[in-house]
Chain A
Amino acid sequence: MNHFRCHSPEHEFSRRQVLGTLVGGAAGLGANGLLNPVVADELKSQQKSVLLIWLDGGISQFESWDPKPGTEFGGPFSAIPTSLPGIHVSELMPHTAQQMHHLSVVRSMCTKDENHSSGVPRILRGDPKNRGVTYPYLGAAMAKLKGDSQSEIPNYIWVKPGSGGFIWQHGGFLGAEYGALALGDGKPPVHINRPPEVDDVIDQSRNDLRKQLNARFRNRRRGAEVNAYESSFEMAEKLIRRKDLFTDFTPQQLERYGSHHLGRHILQSKRLIEAGALFVQCHSYHWDTHADNFNMHLDLVPQIDKPFAALIEDWHESGMLDNVLVLLMSEFGRTPKINQRMGRDHWPEAWSLCLAGCGIRRGMVLGKTTDDGVWVDTTEYDIGHIFHTVFGAMGIDSLGAEYHYNGQPLPIAHEDCVPIKELLA
């Protein structure tokens, strides 16, 4: 009754099927987005997941990971020692300073795009070489490479302020079904509760009918719109089954993480990861302090410092940190030069980000900037290096694995970059 087509969601291969078919050397199944990976054996082992905390706009590296107090561009804030001897961070991050021995900080990021509208998607897609295809966001890529379509938690969830929805564009050439399930304010959509007149039996029956009709409709039609529509229902069904993931937080949790949006959203992200989500992206906006950079960072940095430190500490204590790769970053850093609104502008030339957890070495700082903080003084790393490293930490051979799109093999990360060995445990 169902008319399967290779690009339809029903025809999603499980990882084992993919391995089974391709280990024998078959050239791929000729369908878009299918994988020809050479993956590590640990695929079948314990569930690993990724939490990406994204500070949109560009947190200032001077006011966070790479302070340069008393120098030409250093600004007014001082530096404080951390739990890593010899390493200092900005005074604005006292809690994270105590967790530095769990973290790896890269201070030598040097990327190319200084604009948000182009820069943010470029960074989140790994800034691959331009081949006329739209690469997937990191979360969509991870959902493809390691996702389990049978998982009861959606593979790629986006916890963000504002409105939610299904953002199919993140899927890029992998297809709409790899898009992000965005939860506005971290909350589930309102209609998550089924009315009493619809019981399990009826729900199953009517949805089976719906899928049947869609399968027939899809026959010899372009799949993109139908797939996107079907995915929205699949997400809905999954979410309904896991309503328990959205109960209120306890006063203790809010006290520890903070009741501001980023505190609550990190708490929600933590809960989703612990429930089995493969990739959660936790977004905070308005870090782009072109004006009043110092007043603003004074008030903004504590909003990430407190919950991030709590998260690392809690996950270390529970052992989760061994299974979750945490990535804390923006799309670039901020200019050393202070502008005419006491602000800092965009600075992709030299900035910092933080990695922790699964597959990542604990307690190190990689790379240096010059004494005045303006340029990278050691090996420069692009976002491609970070993608390789993240894939590597998750047990994926980023150099060997390939996507197939319209018959064209495509690297999963920028082919001029490699994993950063020093960061991998």
Chain B
Amino acid sequence: MPINRFLFGVLICLFSGQVWAAGPLHQQIDQRIESRAGGQVADLASDAEFLRRVSLDLNGIVPTADEVRTFLGDQGSQKRAKLIDRLLTAPEYARRMREVFSVMLLERRKGTTVSAEDWNRFLELSFAQNQSWDEFVRSLLQADAANEETHGSVKFFVDGGRADHDQMTQDIARLFLGMNIHCAQCHDHPTVDQFKQVDYVGLMAYLNQSVSAQHSGLQRTFLVENMAKAKVEFESVFDVGNKQQTGPRLPGRDEIEIPAYEEGQEFSEPEKDGLPGVPKFRPRQLLAIQLTEPSNQRFVENAVNRFWFLMMGRGLVHPLDMMHEKNPASHPELLSLLANEFVNHNFDVKWLLRELALSKTYQRSSIVPEGIEPQDVPVESYRVAIAKGLSAEQTGWSMMRVTGVLEKVIETPKSPDAKFTFKDYINGRLPLPDNLSDTMLLFVSVFGNAPGQAEVEFQPSMGQALFLMNERLVLQWLSSSDGTLVKRLESESEATKVAEELYVNILSRFPSDEETAELVKFLDQNQDHRTDAISQFAWAMLTSAEFRLNH
């Protein structure tokens, strides 16, 4: 029960000799981080740094030039807190969360059994309503295709190779329990003592009755469960002949009894609409409940670890799917605290994100204090903000916004019979994409990982560099055409104003004097092709590390 866990946590703190002052979570986070910092911490990020960072993290896009000017000009003392609140209530919040969790849950795997629209709707609705995290995961695992609003959730199971029960088991373990048990399928994990084959098989026993079936009336794919009759047998390939078995069992918890029913009594509902009968014993439904219980430590810690990673750029446990004794959290007490508080607040996602964003740990600059070598500051000390790469979606949205083409792209409709694929486009068989759907597809194809590769580390590729250099669409956005920033600046005669506009629009900050002087000089040297020069400078900013990173 949440209250007891809180008291327990306090007792532990007392016994460990560490007494923390009570207070909002973000303060408690900072206390724990600073007590183990091991050195000087960076200053808080400047307003410009902070605005850009939190806009990207919570709304998936850099701020507009107006937002930059307004925020930097605001003299109010609570402006950062107000900004966080504004971002959490903006419609872009749900869109951003959908993008993040779609990638986390599907890992860009292909499959069209369930449409992307239905899946996106399921995700966005959940985040827009601030559905509690445990409820969200429950509804994902239940995969109720009868529900008009959430039937897209079935995509998690039926697309992207998850029809395979082994894949289902491995992914659920990784994503919700922080356990990469791929290597525990045929034997106990060879290098992680804590991951056993019985954990793998026990988890699979919840899932291996789940299969797809087509509802004849609704024309929709359902994830039904066949009758579970027996425990799953297994043996280690290193110990052939020593047969074991298990029923459904979460790691570290008790095995579930498979009830025996009298013949003919096993079903609660008969066959209907092309779907098989609904058995009384449905292990996957049980999994949805049991896995998401507040008492399931792994589930809660994995969840807060991933939200921490989302905001801070690194998990308290890293890699995210290797939560085991020999790979402890960098701040074990903090992880427990976050877990407890998340439960105490009923898995409220927005509350957690707000607290994280309010912390100094989050708001710290990425600039290392004077006199300290950057490579001497361990990443896991959080003394300095960690730079994150922009996701494919953040890159697409942000590039469109800063070059001035976003509105036009959004307004351009996609022609219903024009099919756009990345392969066709890069082989020169299609014109430049002009609508949102095709443009985002292009950015995802270039900046997203290959299917099945989790997007965690910043992995800039040469292919992306070539895209930024040679892709005609990018160059078009930076040219003097309808509505672009470059076209606007073409008619701005004052070089210092041009400098300010470029920096405010593209890098979301004002230029320093040195930077202004540099740009003015550059324009001066290129008077006879001034527009081109502006375009070149804009390109350099767009492709700079400062733009590419969320710092």
- Please determine if A and B sit in direct contact within the complex, based on CB atoms under 8 angstroms apart: yes
Per-residue B-contact encoding for A162-206, CB less than 8 Å = 1, 0 else? 111111100000000000010000000111111101100011011
The 8 Å CB contact of B463, one of A164, A203, A206, A212, is: A164
Q: Are A220 and B464 within 8 A (Cβ)? A: no
Q: Judge if A118 is at the interface, Cβ distance under 8 Å.
A: yes
Q: How large is the interface on B (under 10, 10 to 19, 20 to 34, 35 or more residues)?
A: 35 or more
Contact A232 B460 (CB under 8 A): yes
Chain A: CB-nearest residue to B526? A205
Q: A117-B183, A213-B546, A232-B464 are in contact. Are A220 and B191 (CB under 8 A)?
A: no
B507's closest neighbor in chain A, by CB?
A: A213
The answer to whether B384 has its CB under 8 Å from any CB of chain A is: yes
Q: Are A232 and B461 in contact (CB under 8 A)?
A: yes
The answer to whether B458 and A192 have CB atoms under 8 Å apart is no
- Please tell me which one of the listed residues A115, A220, A340 contacts residue B374 in the complex, with CB atoms under 8 A apart: A220
Q: Does A240 touch B at the CB level, under 8 Å?
A: yes
Counting CB contacts under 8 A, is B472 at the interface? yes
Across the two chains, which residue of chain A brings its CB closest to B450? A163
Q: Is the interface of A mostly helix, strand, loop or mixed?
A: helix
Cα separation A340 to B238 with both chains bound (whole Å): 12
Residues in B with CB closer than 8 Å to A345 are: 237
Per-position contact with B for A209-220: 1 when CB-CB < 8 Å, else 0?
110111011101
Q: How far is the CB of B443 from chain A (nearest CB, A)?
A: 14
Measured CB to CB, the closest approach of chain B to A162, in angstroms, equals 7
Report the Cα distance A217→B507, complex, angstroms: 12
B186 and chain A: residue at smallest CB distance: A290
Q: Taking A162-B450, A191-B463, A218-B545 as contacts, is the C-beta distance between A202 and B374 under 8 angstroms? A: no
Q: Is the interface of B mostly helix, strand, loop or mixed?
A: helix
- Verify A222–B459 contact, CB threshold 8 A: no
B190:A115 contact, CB within 8 angstroms: yes
CB contact list, B230-259 vs A, under 8 A: 237, 240
Most B Cβ at <10 Å: residue of A198, A229, A239, A345: A229
**Binary interface profile of B, 347-368, with partner A (CB < 8 Å = 1, else 0)?**
0000000000000000000111
Q: Measured between C-beta atoms, what is the minimum distance from B255 to chain A in Å?
A: 28
Cβ contacts under 8 Å, B536 to chain A? 202, 205-206, 209
Candidates A202, A226, A232, A236; contact of B532 at CB < 8 Å: A202
User: Judging by beta carbons under 8 Å apart, are A223 and B462 in contact?
Assistant: no
Q: Name the interface residues of B493-551: CB closer than 8 Å to any CB of A.
A: 515, 518, 522, 532, 536-537, 539-541, 543-546, 548-549, 551
Residue A131 is within 8 A (CB to CB) of chain B in the complex: no
Taken together as a complex, chains A and B put the C-alpha atoms of A191 and B190 apart, in Å, by 42
The reply on B466 being an interface residue by CB < 8 A is: yes
Known pairs A210-B540, A220-B374, A222-B368; A165 contacts B463 (CB<8 A): yes
Interface assignment of B469: CB less than 8 Å from any CB of chain A: yes
Pick the contact of A221: B374, B389, B470 (CB < 8 A).
B374
Residues of A within 8 A of B237 (CB): 339, 345
CB distance from B503 to the nearest CB of A (A): 11
CB <8 Å contact, B462 and A181: yes
- Chain A residues with CB below 8 A from B541, complex form: 213
Distance (whole angstroms) from the CB of B5 to the closest CB of chain A? 35
* B interface residues (Cβ-Cβ under 8 A, vs A): 183, 190-191, 237, 240, 366-368, 370, 374-375, 377, 379, 384, 387, 389, 426-427, 450, 458-467, 469-472, 475, 515, 518, 522, 532, 536-537, 539-541, 543-546, 548-549, 551
The 8 closest A-B pairs by CB, nearest first: A209-B540, A191-B466, A165-B461, A189-B463, A236-B465, A210-B540, A235-B462, A213-B544
Known A164-B463, A232-B464, A236-B466; 14 more pairs at CB < 8 Å: A165-B459, A165-B462, A166-B460, A191-B463, A198-B475, A210-B539, A217-B545, A218-B545, A220-B370, A221-B387, A226-B545, A232-B461, A239-B466, A345-B237
